[in-house]
């Protein structure tokens, strides 16, 4: 079976630069999975996202080696306009994407461009508006709403086009914690409801980890580690050494493990940490009696 995303020995160097922005990337991702991508600024995350939706090599000049296949076909082999039904990207500054006078028109615009029928547009519109809680904003101009609302509009506009892969590039980097949580709540609903493959590039690990089936870590253009989320964080010592700081609950258990006070798998969330602690305390109490 072909993976939905298959990147093979992929290297991209922007024209007039000395170093490749991404180097020898190998990554496969099956349909329906949620991948979290982390890495410091300049590590190649956005370049990787652009490479999946055809902006690279379409809009940028550079030198490509290797292959980036979506559903078995090279991104540049897709006929004009057809890759959008496969891969949609939401950027951290969504305003740059807006073209319409109202939120509703913004949501409809992309679907019309793809030539969807009116009943299909209505049905998709209703679905994305309820998923993203945008009903009260439909008649507002998209540039007059808050940052978090803009992010939800951008997400809804891309989702409305039903891409099989959704990529969100630092969707919450400009948001306050409450707006950030609302965006992740939408992603959680989406993960539950739909079969989309979702790739989220994000620094906020607390929000990302509970949703991610797999995690990828990029550094200096290389994919240093990519694995199922729990196995990924089993490499916590290497990640911390390279400047990635997992959530406090996970670090706490890592410290306990280093001091031989804990030997299980590291908890991924506060809820898991609470359960692990409760189990350890119960065991200790049992041992004393
Ligand atoms: N249009 C461009 N032309 C030339 N070099 C670029 C271009 N865009 C990015 N780069 C370079 O490619 C490398 C990877 O950048 P990229 O934006 O992909 O990283 P990133 O991990 O997404 O960073 P950030 O978290 O800051 O968005 C960096 O060295 C960057 O300077």
Q: What is the mean pLDDT of residues 15-22?
A: 94
CATH number at residue 140: 3.40.50.300
Give yes or no: residues 217 and 189 share one domain: yes
Give yes or no: residues 83 and 55 share one domain: yes
Looking at ligand 1, which residue's alpha carbon is closest to its atom 28?
A: 42
Check pLDDT > 60 for residue 9: yes
pLDDT at 151: 87
Looking at ligand 1, which residue's alpha carbon is closest to its atom 5?
A: 14
pLDDT at 177: 85
Give yes or no: residues 128 and 44 share one domain: yes
CA of 31 to the centre of ligand 1 (A): 27
pLDDT band at 288 (very low <50, low <70, confident <90, very high): low
- What whole-number distance in Å separates Cα of residue 218 and Cα of residue 63? 20
For residue 250, how many other CB atoms are within 10 A of its CB?
A: 22
Q: In the numeric block, which tokens belong to residue 105?
A: 């028109």
Candidate of 21, 25, 57, 201 to mutate for ligand 1, largest count of ligand atoms within 8 Å of Cβ: 21
276 lines ligand 1 (CB under 6 A): no
Q: What's the pTM value of the predicted model, to 2 decimals?
A: 0.91
Give yes or no: residues 22 and 58 share one domain: yes
Give yes or no: residues 174 and 55 share one domain: yes
Q: Which residue has the tokens 């990640």?
A: 239
pLDDT at 140: 93
Check the CA dihedral 114-115-118-119 and report its sign. Answer: negative
pLDDT at 194: 67
- What whole-number distance in Å separates Cα of residue 282 and Cα of residue 279? 5
Check pLDDT > 90 for residue 264: no
pLDDT at 235: 94
Write the DSSP assignment of 175-243 as a string of letters: S-HHHHHHHHHHHHHHHHH---EEEEE-S-HHHHTTT-SEEEEEETTEEEEEEEHHHHHTTHHHHHHTT
Give yes or no: residues 79 and 192 share one domain: yes
Q: In the numeric block, which tokens belong to residue 64?
A: 């490509």
Rounded to whole angstroms, what are the CA distances from 219 to 43, 45, 251? 5, 9, 21
Give yes or no: residues 251 and 146 share one domain: no
CB 217 within 8 A of CB 197: no
Check pLDDT > 70 for residue 53: yes
The interface predicted TM-score of the complex, written ipTM, equals 0.97
Looking at ligand 1, which residue's alpha carbon is closest to its atom 29?
A: 42
Which of 27-41, 153-167, 272-286 has the weakest average pLDDT? Answer: 272-286
pLDDT band at 287 (very low <50, low <70, confident <90, very high): low
Percent of the chain with pLDDT over 90: 54
pLDDT tens digits for range 208-233: 999 999 999 999 999 999 999 999 99
Check pLDDT > 90 for residue 108: yes
Give yes or no: residues 235 and 254 share one domain: no
Looking at ligand 1, which residue's alpha carbon is closest to its atom 4?
A: 14
**Domain membership of residue 174 as a residue range:** 5-246
Measure the CA angle with vertex 32, ends 31 and 38; round to 5°.
95
Give yes or no: residues 253 and 126 share one domain: no
47 lines ligand 1 (CB under 6 A): yes
CB 83 within 8 A of CB 118: no
Give yes or no: residues 222 and 278 share one domain: no
Check pLDDT > 60 for residue 62: yes
Give yes or no: residues 136 and 218 share one domain: yes
| CA 50 to ligand 1: nearest atom | 18
pLDDT at 252: 92
Looking at ligand 1, which residue's alpha carbon is closest to its atom 31?
A: 42
Give yes or no: residues 236 and 257 share one domain: no
Among the listed residues 132, 254, 113, 229, the one whose alpha carbon sits nearest the alpha carbon of residue 190: 132
Check pLDDT > 80 for residue 199: yes
- Total domains present in the chain: 2
- What whole-number distance in Å separates Cα of residue 154 and Cα of residue 97? 7
């Amino acid at each position: 079976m072909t993976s939905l995303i298959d990147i093979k020995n992929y290297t991209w160097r922007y024209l007039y630069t000395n170093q490749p922005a991404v180097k020898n990337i190998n990554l496969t991702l099956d349909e329906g999975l949620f991948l979290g991508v982390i890495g410091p600024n300049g590590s190649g995350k956005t370049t990787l996202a652009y490479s999946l939706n055809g902006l690279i090599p379409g809009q940028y000049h550079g030198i490509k080696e290797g292959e980036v296949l979506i559903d078995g076909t090279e991104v540049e082999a897709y006929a004009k306009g057809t890759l959008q039904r496969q891969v949609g990207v939401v950027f951290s500054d969504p305003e740059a994407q807006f073209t319409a006078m109202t939120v509703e028109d913004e949501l409809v615009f992309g679907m019309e461009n793809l030539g969807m029928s009116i009943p299909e547009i209505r049905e998709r519109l209703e679905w994305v508006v309820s998923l993203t809680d945008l009903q009260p904003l439909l008649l507002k101009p998209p540039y007059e709403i808050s940052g978090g609302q803009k992010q939800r509009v951008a997400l809804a506009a891309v989702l409305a086009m039903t891409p099989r892969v959704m990529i969100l590039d630092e969707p919450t980097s400009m948001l306050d914690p409450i707006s950030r949580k609302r965006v992740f709540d939408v992603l959680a609903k989406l993960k539950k409801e739909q079969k989309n493959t979702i790739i989220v590039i994000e620094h906020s690990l607390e929000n990302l980890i509970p949703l991610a089936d797999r995690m990828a870590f990029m550094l200096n253009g290389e994919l240093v580690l990519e694995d199922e989320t729990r196995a990924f964080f089993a490499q916590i010592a290497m990640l911390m050494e390279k400047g990635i700081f997992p959530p406090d609950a996970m670090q706490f258990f890592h410290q306990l493990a280093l001091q031989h006070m804990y030997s299980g798998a590291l908890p991924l969330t506060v809820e898991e940490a609470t359960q692990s602690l409760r189990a350890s305390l119960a065991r200790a109490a049992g041992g004393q009696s």
